[in-house]
Structure 1
């Protein structure tokens, strides 16, 4: 299975249009981790599963979503709801509660990925306003196989960032 993960575009609709156009039919799921600042009725949400961020002020957005695709159970939320600036503990507890194998989150605008206690925790960074060590506008592609997760980060021009490629073995 292959998943596109993006977050924190903060009103830049065009970057999402470009991603949806490029990846439609090429991935098994497209996920937006919040802070789109777009209307909840936007046609983009037909392709992207989305949650509310702290800058999304529409009650129609869900706070979290859980979806199963193949053997993966994916938790999607914006990191402010799990206090991810402090630690990933609340995110991992919630993933355990819902039985998720992948936990996707935004909010910090800092990309990062870890495999913790069998859960792949991934922040795609921000496609518009990056922060932290990597000052690159990013999104991520996760490829999930029976044996491993392969994670590749891309810049906003859809070019892979060679130093931001990670492989994690799944527990047997």
Structure 2
């Protein structure tokens, strides 16, 4: 399963369109982790799984549990789980939802880590990055048994930001 993950585009349809054009055609799913600041029926979000961020209207769901090619993906913005301070509440929710991959945003800081066999990915921000210069999105390549690769890309150029990428080998 190969999934494009983006977040925090804050009303910019141009950056979303640019990222979708940059992504390879072998993407199995597209996720927006909130703060799109667009309407639920906006053409830029067509075929994109989108959750509500703290800057979005109430038309989007707070969370989604999606299965893509047998991988259980939990999607939330992160503001309800205090992700700017700790990942503990988010990890509890991921465990409750039996997620294999957790996608979240809110902090505008790209992050990828593994805890208890679950991979967590924050793609950073498409518009207002923090703690680094690049506006970023992520692509996760994950199969049920093999390694999980999280690659980050510059949203403006499409070039890989190799310093942010990570590979995980899951035990379960």
TM-score by length of 1: 0.94
Where do 1:133-172 residues align within 5 Å?
134-145=132-143, 146-156=145-155, 157-172=157-172
Residues in 1 aligned to 2:87 and 2:106: alpha-carbon distance in whole angstroms: 12
Where do 1:22-33 residues align within 5 Å?
22-23=22-23, 25-33=25-33
TM-score by length of 2: 0.94
Residue 110 of structure 2 corresponds to 111
1:18-69 CA-to-partner distances (Å, cap 9, x unmatched) read 222333742011000000111121023322100010111x221110111011
Q: Is 1:78 the counterpart of 2:77 in the alignment? A: yes
Q: Is 1:52 the counterpart of 2:52 in the alignment? A: yes
Residues in 1 aligned to 2:126 and 2:46: alpha-carbon distance in whole angstroms: 19
For structure 2, the residue ranges without an aligned partner over 5 or more in a row are none
SS of residue paired to 2:140? strand
1:3-31 CA-to-partner distances (Å, cap 9, x unmatched) read 00000011111111122233374201100
Question: Alignment RMSD, CA only?
Answer: 1.3
Residues in 2 aligned to 1:92 and 1:13: alpha-carbon distance in whole angstroms: 31
Q: Quick one: structure 1 residues 4 and 27, their matched pair in 2 at CA, closer, same or farther if it must change by over 3 Å? A: same
Which structure's residues are more often strand, by fraction? Answer: 1
